[in-house]
Chain A
Amino acid sequence: EAGVAQSPRYKIIEKRQSVAFWCNPISGHATLYWYQQILGQGPKLLIQFQNNGVVDDSQLPKDRFSAERLKGVDSTLKIQPAKLEDSAVYLCASSLARWDTRYEQYFGPGTRLTVT
């Protein structure tokens, strides 16, 4: 089966510009996650969707970050305006169900964002 797809793979922008990332989860996966991975650190959950509803966005900087998951499939994560500290790899993951840890989270290749 096809894995989690993300685009673009790399993005370089200047601070105060906006950027958007796209994720297509594995077909049939109800739960979608966006993580931020800063160099030298483990991934940090930004937002978690169950179908097209948000179930956890407690660590999303809502003044500049937004995310949506239209029709419970694809998702976009947007940053507007970007700051230097947003330089990181943004990972998308999906799983069949969030309440059962028997269901593995599958990760996409990530988008590496550099803010200059």
Chain B
Amino acid sequence: GDSVTQMEGPVTLSEEAFLTINCTYTATGYPSLFWYVQYPGEGLQLLLKATKADDKGSNKGFEATYRKETTSFHLEKGSVQVSDSAVYFCALSDSWGKLQFGAGTQVVVTP
């Protein structure tokens, strides 16, 4: 069945550092790919998405590119802020809209 694997956390960074969170997937068909973020005490929010190969999703300085050849959707941000401290979830969706999530990666940004 479909599955998502993302790097384990916590990832601890200093402010203004470069962030990468690796995500790879296994799926039949042509899934859509997502990054969700969960800030402390809040619900899940969609951060960005890509619906087909080579699409790049971007939002709030975060980017991820749908790489079919490597079945990856790595999340990157060039300069993180303390406010980016959160748990990040990679997910895929089949054609029926069913989301399959990775285990999540906690990111801690220190001043």
Contact = CB atoms under 8 A, between A and B. Distances in A.
Contact of A101 (B4, B51, B104): B51
A99 B95 CA distance: 6
Interface string B41-57: 01111100101000000
A44 B99 CA distance: 8
Contacts of A48: 97-98
Classify the secondary structure of B's interface with A. Answer: strand
Contact of B103 (A42, A55, A103, A109): A42
B104 A100 contact: no
Interface residues of B, number: 23
Nearest to B4: A42
A107 interface: yes
A31 interface: yes
How many A residues touch the partner, as a band?
A: 20 to 34
16 contacts: A3-B43, A31-B97, A41-B104, A42-B102, A42-B104, A43-B101, A45-B100, A56-B98, A93-B44, A95-B97, A97-B97, A101-B51, A102-B51, A105-B97, A107-B43, A109-B42
Contacts of B49: 101, 104
Contacts of B102: 42
A98 B96 CA distance: 6
Contacts of A113: none
Interface in B66-96: 89, 91, 93, 95-96
B6 to A, nearest CB: 9
A42 B25 CA distance: 14
A99 B91 CA distance: 16
Contacts of B91: 42
B103 A41 contact: yes
